[in-house]
Amino acid sequence: MLKDFFSKKKHASKPSEEAKQDIPEGLMLKCSSCGKIYYREEMRKQLYVCQKCGHHHQLPSDERINSLFDEGSFLEYDTNLETGNPLEFPSYSQKLEKDQLKTELKEAVVTGEGTVNGFRTAFAVMDSRFRMASMGSVVGEKIARALEKAREEKIPFIIFTASGGARMQEGALSLMQMAKTSAAVQRFRDAGGLMISVMTNPTYGGVSASFASLGDYNFAEPGALIGFAGRRVVEETIREKLPEDFQTAEFLLDHGQLDAVINRHDMKKYLTTILDIHQAGGHVS
Amino acid sequence: MRQVLEFEKPVIALREKIAELKKFTKDSDLDLSEEIVKLETRLEKLENDIYTNLKPWDRVQMARHADRPTTLDYIEHLFTDFLEFHGDRYYGDDAAIVAGIAKYKGQPVTVVGHQRGKSTKENIRRNFGMPHPEGFRKAARHMQQAAKFGRPIICFIDTKGAFPGRAAEERGQSEAIARNLMEMAGFEVPIICIVIGEGGSGGALALGVGDRLLMLENSTFSVISPEGAASILWKDGGKAKEAAEKLKITAQDLKELGVIDNIIPEVRGGAHRDLASQAELVDQAITENLTQLEKMDKQVLLEKRWEKYSNIGAYTE
Ligand SMILES: [Zn+2]
């Protein structure tokens, strides 16, 4: 739905000399913002943040989990949920199968729990490699269940969001996941639970307009594009050119929509501090 | 002038013919009453055939009909002492949403609904019923008040969707919708939501979390407009008709999928044909559901509301 956000260079710059060389695919990666070429392994170690320009590239969910949770502490929830094709939408099943093969994921979100520098917390990590992390029945169900689990266990809930929006092929069932997940947040908050939302690139549509915006703290990664309607739709509607930084994390921060923009390298330390402060004084302990 | 929908044309043509014959009978010596009776029987059958076999795309047209009753039309017929209140207290007053207090058969209620215009001028003023964040926040403010004073909430849903504009994004369209979804899940008063026209995506759902989600027979409720889906799926907005079928956006389909609780029947030919009779049908539905909900203990009400939403979805495990 929002395919262009991935390829779009936010601050377009001339590709470097290195970028023009013919590099075998797979071994090397090119920064989509400044064009600098990296060995894949080097980029992976840097959590896919460009050392030259700081651009935050897509981070696969398993690597995100490894970067945040203490070694060996990760326990995955609800590993067997799979989407059917409730509307019998043409070619939907094939698309799911293709993405399952490509990503080795069953769906666009991984949920579970673990410890972050010793603090036990439930979490959900959305993975935009799978169907643009659009929200269908399984995404909604897994997130709602993780929130319920966190409520029962009296532990915090951290979510890393990414989404192109609704899973169109599931029609209104997809839409209703907004209500389901938001209702789960309501129950969790009502019980005094701490919820932290970290929005990553891109977070749009139904995900942006439900749990992603409902944290006690709402953060974003640098440069992440976040909004209800996509840039192109907005441009077509109002027929005016939008500022270049429209809907970036920094733009939202300026407009009072976020608590802070957090660099991926600082994330674990930052979250640890928040968990520590709430452990010391909040309801969740 | 009344807007004529494509699928209704045979009905309109036959009606005109009957009217013509009646006039002819009256003006001349020729008695055509036998012929007229025949045609009227045929009309009856034709109307039945057409209106009971509407295709999803026909219903989209019906839901968008220029004369289709709006929130304020229903408010006028269903409630007394309606007082409209304005503003979200943060930024402005969004005319795409109306909200206020009223009495329903003597009982205090809070009423909130999307409001589109019937004329171009009014549509511009009301932004075609497409709210900005301040509209959703106005709605939230009134629903919070309803919860405080223990008044049931009646929501009317009638929007193409939340407005996709620059200012809306800057002021937190996503947050405004999300907050409504969350808070509506927790208000300790009965909430009845009724889709009366188009129920477009998150902007519709932002008034749609409650104990009952009801749809008028010819209304639609969808994650994306058929045109939008067609242009994404097939790069061809012209295939909207096909998308309307695939997306399952009619009341009948959504009842089957477990998305809505019930269907409110429409007068033959659509709600716009007879507002007073249609309002009566809506009235019956509100009374019936409100009676059921008011018997429930607050905790039971909330628990059942949660169960209802947590059960929506299709997956294997
Ligand atoms: Zn770079």
Q: Per residue in B35-56, pLDDT tens?
A: 889 999 999 999 888 988 899 9
Side-chain half-sphere of B199: how many Cα atoms within 13 Å? 34
Q: A170 contacts in B (CB within 8 Å)?
A: 223, 314
Helical ranges in chain A per DSSP H = 4-7, 17-20, 40-45, 61-68, 92-103, 137-153, 171-190, 205-208, 231-238, 249-254, 267-281
pLDDT score of A15: 41
Rounded to 5°, angle at Cα B177 from B85 and B138: 10
The SS3 assignment for B193 reads: strand
A34 phi, psi to nearest 5 deg: -105, -10
Rounded to 5°, angle at Cα A183 from A153 and A220: 80
Task: Report CA torsion sign: B224, B227, B230, B231.
Answer: negative
User: Structure tokens of A107?
Assistant: 């769906």
pLDDT digits (tens, 9 = 90+) for B176-198: 999 999 999 999 999 999 999 99
Cβ A234–B169 below 8 Å, yes or no? Answer: yes
Q: What is the largest CA-CA distance in chain B?
A: 76
Q: How far is the CA of A36 from the centre of ligand 1 (A)?
A: 6
**pTM for the complete prediction?**
0.93
User: DSSP code of B57?
Assistant: H
A241 inside 8 A of chain B by CB: no
A197 inside 8 A of chain B by CB: no
Number of other CB atoms surrounding residue A25 within 10 Å:
9
Chain B, nearest residue to A170 by Cα:
B247
CB distance B164 to B201 below 8 Å: no
Q: How far is the CA of A249 from the centre of ligand 1 (A)?
A: 17
B224 phi, psi to nearest 5 deg: -155, 150
Chain B, nearest residue to A188 by Cα:
B182
Q: Among A222-231, A246-255, B95-104, B229-238, where is mean pLDDT lowest?
A: B229-238
Average pLDDT, chain B: 95
Q: How far is the CA of B86 from the centre of ligand 1 (A)?
A: 49
User: Structure tokens of B218?
Assistant: 């010819």
CB distance A260 to A219 below 8 Å: yes
pLDDT of chain A along its 285 residues, tens only? 444 444 444 433 444 444 444 445 578 999 999 999 999 999 999 999 999 999 999 999 999 999 999 999 999 999 999 988 999 998 999 999 999 999 999 999 999 999 999 999 999 999 999 999 999 999 999 999 999 999 999 999 999 999 999 999 999 999 999 999 999 999 999 999 999 999 999 999 999 999 999 999 999 999 999 999 999 999 999 998 999 999 999 999 999 999 999 999 999 999 999 999 998 654 544
User: Structure tokens of A230?
Assistant: 């996509």
In Å, how far is A26's CA from the nearest CA of chain B? 30
Chain B, nearest residue to A148 by Cα:
B310
Cis ω before A202 (30° cut-off from 0): yes
B249 inside 8 A of chain A by CB: yes
Q: Which residue has the tokens 């301040």?
A: B134
Helical ranges in A69-136 per DSSP H = 92-103
Q: B306 contacts in A (CB within 8 Å)?
A: 183, 187
Cβ B310–A144 below 8 Å, yes or no? Answer: yes
Q: Which residue has the tokens 């169907």?
A: A131
The minimal CB distance from B232 to the residues A168, A210, A234 is found for A168
Give A186's contacts (C-beta < 8 A, 6+ positions apart): B182, B183, B185, B186
Q: What's the average model confidence in pLDDT over B99-109?
A: 98
Residue A213: closest CA among B173, B209, B241, B66 = B173
Task: Report CA torsion sign: B278, B282, B283, B288.
Answer: positive
CA distance B66 to B119: 8
pLDDT digits (tens, 9 = 90+) for B67-77: 999 999 999 99
- Stated length of chain A: 285
Cβ A175–B223 below 8 Å, yes or no? Answer: yes
Rounded to 5°, angle at Cα B130 from B125 and B135: 85
Q: Residue A219: what residue type?
A: F
Residues 193-222 of chain B whose Cβ lies under 8 A from any Cβ of chain A: 201-202, 205-206, 208-209, 221-222
B136 inside 8 A of chain A by CB: no
CB distance B111 to B101 below 8 Å: yes
User: Structure tokens of A172?
Assistant: 């209104």
Residues 53-112 of chain A whose Cβ lies under 8 A from any Cβ of chain B: 78, 80-84, 86-87, 89-90
Q: A83 contacts in B (CB within 8 Å)?
A: 314-316
Give B210's contacts (C-beta < 8 A, 6+ positions apart): B153, B155, B184, B190, B191, B192, B193, B305
Q: A245 contacts in B (CB within 8 Å)?
A: none
